[in-house]
Amino acid sequence: MTWPVASVAHHLASPTGSGAGSTLVRLRFGIVARADELVADERLLAAYALLFDSRDDVTLSILDGMQDGELVAELAAAAERAGLSDDASADLVALAGKTAEGERLVALGADAVYSRAGLGEAFTNLPAFDDRTAAELRALAADAGAVGELSSSVSRLAEAVPLLPLYEEEPGFIRSSLCSHAYMTTESYAAWTARFKQQPSMHRKQWEWVIICDALQERGLLAPGKRGIGFGVGLEPLPALFASDGCEIVATDLALDNAASQGWIAGDQHAASLDQMNSLGLCPPDEFQERVSFRFADMNDIAPDLRGFDFTWSSCCFEHLGSIEHGLTFVERSLDCLRPGGIAIHTTEFNLSSNDDTVDQGGTVIFRRQDIDRLAQRLTAQGHKICLDYTEGTTVYDRFVDLPPYQQDPHIRLLLSGYVSTSICLIVRKAG
């Protein structure tokens, strides 16, 4: 998984020779970082060097940019200045799938690794990354009885490196992620599309609806008495579906005059009344009337009386708010609508072509990874929780880029304003 700068603690369990079922648990630290960030701020490398000085089973996995020769040269020079290459056995090794260990690291998102040990030793039985926050790292360093002997440099590392807390509510829960074909082939996906009265398709809009439903259900939020608010609902089936599960729903959309001027009405993507949202008959009409209300709402200026909900959602809406910053602000402000611990799920456009150039103003903007990372930092600074997974799909359908005029299937990636784009789903738990 390609993450921003973060430290991760690995608990490595491997069979021993002392009998069936016996395991030997060791602590291994793996550090995940982005090459451009390491070059831009050598304090990160210096902080990592503190840990490397005292342990020889630490690895530094480097993401993004290791195919850029100039950046690699800059990184190597920075590593030498930081003292990371003092040891004769140390090296920056581009993996690119050259070894079995390298293939596994590439699958996790890394494309280079620094290790004082040899690659084979460094990555023997390396498990998936188990993420830890800075606070958890400090606790590990302080509690020697729980994890064995740890150098005090772990504490210094945790203090020195600006960590982005990564959070997973429950093992196996859906996290913030990119649209992929693999998810579209699951039994869960087919079950949800059947409830929409649709056949499964390789269309990212359908994926957005399914992942919103799936994430809410596994968190126990699609149940009688739960309250939800949807933004920019248009004619999507979600308000009726949620009502059929017993939820009380406030469905909102843009006021008629604004919707008309932006072309949503002409494009049959705008809801003007309650009845339109149950046109597929997903909810018995009497239950729908009882549980669903409709009102106009400006996503750039959310009304202060919309409060106390268990969940909120939007499907490919906040990229239409005029700018990158307006979209990010909407996600933040949508959390005001929730009770403490409530869940916000929003999907939007994600730029696969560039983390620099994009469309940042206008009717449809395209969010880069740097924008989503910035949003995550703002949210976590306020105590909210988000776990980002930027893993891209790898099937032939994932690699297919739909060109205008767009077809319906496959439509996972598309060329949008000159950029290859897909959908990203953001799942945030409000603080409290």
Q: Which of 136, 160, 184 is the last residue of a domain?
A: 160
Question: What is the residue range of 306's domain?
Answer: 176-429
CA nearest neighbour of 241 among 201, 207, 291: 291
Would you say 72 and 92 are in contact if contact means Cβ atoms under 8 Å apart?
A: yes
The vertex-304 CA angle with 301 and 308, nearest 5°, equals 120
Place of tokens 């608010």: 229
pTM: 0.64
Query: Could you give the CA distance from residue 53 to residue 73 in angstroms, rounded to a whole number?
Result: 23
What is the widest separation between alpha-carbon atoms in the chain?
Answer: 75
Query: Could you give the CA distance from residue 24 to residue 11 in angstroms, rounded to a whole number?
Result: 10
Would you say 217 and 173 are in contact if contact means Cβ atoms under 8 Å apart?
A: no
Same domain, 127 and 180: no
pLDDT interval class at 392 (50, 70, 90): confident
Q: Which of 111, 133, 160 is the last residue of a domain?
A: 160
- List all residues 6 or more positions away from 13 whose beta carbon is below 8 Å from its beta carbon: 23, 24, 25, 127
DSSP bridge pairs for 344: 312, 428
Q: What is the pairing mode between strands 385-386 and 322-323? A: unpaired
CA nearest neighbour of 114 among 205, 51, 200: 51
- Torsion from C-alpha of 284, 289, 293, 295, nearest 10 degrees: 100
Would you say 162 and 372 are in contact if contact means Cβ atoms under 8 Å apart?
A: no
Domain count of the chain? 2
Query: Could you give the CA distance from residue 322 to residue 364 in angstroms, rounded to a whole number?
Result: 7
- Whether the per-residue pLDDT at 372 is higher than 80: the answer is yes
Structure tokens at 360: 């940042």
Q: Determine, yes or no, domain membership for 170.
A: no
CA nearest neighbour of 309 among 345, 270, 255: 345
Same domain, 200 and 317: yes
CA nearest neighbour of 349 among 315, 322, 386: 315
3-state secondary structure of 426: strand
Query: Could you give the CA distance from residue 93 to residue 366 in angstroms, rounded to a whole number?
Result: 34
> For the domain that residue 366 is a member of, what is the CATH number?
3.40.50.150
At residue 258, the pLDDT reads: 52
Same domain, 270 and 141: no
DSSP bridge pairs for 25: 13
Q: Determine, yes or no, domain membership for 233.
A: yes
- 244 phi and psi, to 5 degrees? -65, -20
Query: Could you give the CA distance from residue 158 to residue 175 in angstroms, rounded to a whole number?
Result: 25
Same domain, 188 and 275: yes
Same domain, 86 and 205: no
pLDDT interval class at 102 (50, 70, 90): very low
Same domain, 369 and 412: yes
Same domain, 242 and 123: no
How distant, in Å, are the alpha carbons of 173, 213, 226, 298 from that of 216?
10, 5, 11, 24
CA nearest neighbour of 28 among 114, 147, 194: 147
Task: Provide the residue type at 103 as one letter.
Answer: E
Same domain, 117 and 217: no
pLDDT digits (tens, 9 = 90+) for 40-52: 766 666 666 655 5
Same domain, 20 and 97: yes
Query: Could you give the CA distance from residue 398 to residue 319 in angstroms, rounded to a whole number?
Result: 22
At residue 72, the pLDDT reads: 66
Same domain, 85 and 201: no
Q: Determine, yes or no, domain membership for 1.
A: no
Q: What is the mean pLDDT of the chain?
A: 72
Q: In 219-362, which ranges are continuous DSSP H helix? A: 238-244, 256-261, 285-291, 324-334
Say which range, 33-42, 48-57, 140-149, 259-268, has the weakest mean pLDDT.
140-149
pLDDT digits (tens, 9 = 90+) for 247-304: 999 999 987 655 444 544 344 444 556 778 898 999 999 999 999 999 999 999 999 9
DSSP bridge pairs for 275: none
pLDDT interval class at 33 (50, 70, 90): low
Q: Determine, yes or no, domain membership for 66.
A: yes
pLDDT digits (tens, 9 = 90+) for 158-182: 343 333 333 445 556 888 999 999 9
Task: Provide the residue type at 102 as one letter.
Answer: G
DSSP 336: G
Decide: residue 285, CB within 10 A, 0-12 exposed, 13-18 middle, 19+ buried: exposed
